[in-house]
Amino acid sequence: MRICLRTRPQGYHYHGNRFQYVEEIIQAGLSIANTPPSQPVLLAWAADGFPILYGFGSDGLGSLTILHPSYQLKYGNRNGNGNTAPCGLCNGGYTNDYQYKECFGDLDECNVIERTITLNTTLDVETLNTFTLLQVHFYKLVAVS
């Protein structure tokens, strides 16, 4: 889930800060929280019907916990020219600044995890077995070479 902020004449565009979105729209203080909220934070529903949660998910034992991605920050510079694609140091500002490393974190390559979670929805209380997660601490990943 990204928020498009600007489109350049060349067609290249960049996306907004998901932490700012969470702070302003969902709940102030949530993007810096290390303590799980009392309920899962449902941001949206994906087109495939799975919920998109923010930062915290099931620990497999019935409680919420911070779940970590299996992505690592790449070491070095981006290959772009600055006009049609980004250039400069891989610093986490772009999705392509990261590379997937299987089993490095809790989530798979699509930031999905198969664990049961119960959500209060407009339909009722629903229990689901799979959900997508937007990470709270994605920016803390260690660079790899």
Q: Is 17 within the bounds of a domain?
A: no
What pLDDT, on a 0 to 100 scale, did the predictor assign at position 55?
Answer: 80
Residue 3 has pLDDT above 50, yes or no: no
Q: Is 26 within the bounds of a domain?
A: no
Determine if the pTM surpasses 0.75: no
Q: Is 64 within the bounds of a domain?
A: yes
74-113 tens-digit pLDDT: 999 999 998 888 999 998 888 889 999 998 988 888 888 8
Count of Cβ atoms closer than 10 Å to residue 55 Cβ: 25
Q: Is 123 within the bounds of a domain?
A: yes
Instruction: Specify the higher pLDDT residue, 93 or 132.
Output: 93
Q: Is 22 within the bounds of a domain?
A: no
Residue type, 31: S
- Supply the DSSP string of 38-107, one letter for each residue: SS--EEEE-TTS-EEEESEEE-SSSSEEE---SEEEEPSEEE--SSSS-EEE--SSSGGGEEE-TTSSSS
Share of the chain above pLDDT 70, in %: 75
Domain count, the chain: 1
Q: Is 76 within the bounds of a domain?
A: yes
Identify the domain containing residue 63 by its residue range.
37-144
Out of 15-24, 46-55, 84-93, 102-111, least confident range: 15-24
Residue 64 has pLDDT above 60, yes or no: yes
